[in-house]
Chains A and B, each alone.
Chain A
Amino acid sequence: DTGVSQDPRHKITKRGQNVTFRCDPISEHNRLYWYRQTLGQGPEFLTYFQNEAQLEKSRLLSDRFSAERPKGSFSTLEIQRTEQGDSAMYLCASSLDGQLNSPLHFGNGTRLTVT
């Protein structure tokens, strides 16, 4: 079990720059989720995919945030024109099926610092 892999582990960027994070889920998992976690808070749901279809994106924090999963395998989360308030840990998770039937497996996250 290789687990959920996220890259990079850390990203430092200047305000106004664009950043892209990658998530590789467990290979047979159909569902892929993105969460954001700020210091002292629990993870906050952003969006999720069933294979390549993005089934929920209304929770994305603004139109600067977008996510893709073009072939139903890995996913990318892009933040355009970053702001200091975007500094957080971005978590990816995958599951075989819906959450009642199979647990979410989380990656270790990408920590974003916007200066």
Chain B
Amino acid sequence: GNSVTQMEGPVTLSEEAFLTINCTYTATGYPSLFWYVQYPGEGLQLLLKATKADDKGSNKGFEATYRKETTSFHLEKGSVQVSDSAVYFCALSAFGGGADGLTFGKGTHLIIQP
């Protein structure tokens, strides 16, 4: 079956530090990959996506590249801000299973200290 594994949190960084949150996946076929973010007290929001191998998704300074050879979609940001503190979820959507539902990782809680 489909699954997503992401690094355990919480991840605590100082402002302006470099961020990497690792995400690897297992899927049949060729999934699309997503990062969602959940800020405190808010619903999940799409942060970025990539639909095929070697695509790079980017938004708000965050980037992730779809690496088929390593089945990975790591999230990166060059200089984090306190406002980036949130829970980040890696997810995949694999058609062919017919469910059209996203499979999420467990989430990584990111804490940015001033």
Q: Which residue numbers of A lie inside 8 Å of B, CB to CB?
A: 3-4, 33, 35, 40-46, 48, 55-56, 58-59, 91, 93, 98-100, 103-109
Is B101 in the interface zone, CB < 8 Å from A?
yes
| B102→A48 contact, CB < 8 A | no
| B32→A99 contact, CB < 8 A | yes
Secondary structure type dominating chain A contacts: loop
**Which of A45, A103, A104, A108 interacts with B99 by CB under 8 Å?**
A45
**Which of A43, A99, A107 interacts with B104 by CB under 8 Å?**
A43
| B98→A43 contact, CB < 8 A | no
| B102→A45 contact, CB < 8 A | yes
CB distance from A57 to the nearest CB of B (A): 10
Q: Which residue numbers of B lie inside 8 Å of A, CB to CB?
A: 4, 32, 41-46, 49, 51, 89, 91, 93, 98-107
| B91→A42 contact, CB < 8 A | yes
CB distance from B11 to the nearest CB of A (A): 15
* Cα distance, A109 to B107, chains bound together (Å): 17
CB distance from A98 to the nearest CB of B (A): 7
7 contacts between A and B (CB under 8 A): A4-B43, A42-B91, A43-B44, A45-B101, A46-B101, A104-B46, A109-B43
CB distance from A91 to the nearest CB of B (A): 7
B89's closest neighbor in chain A, by CB?
A: A42
| B101→A108 contact, CB < 8 A | no
Among A40, A43, A100: residue with most chain B CB under 10 A: A43
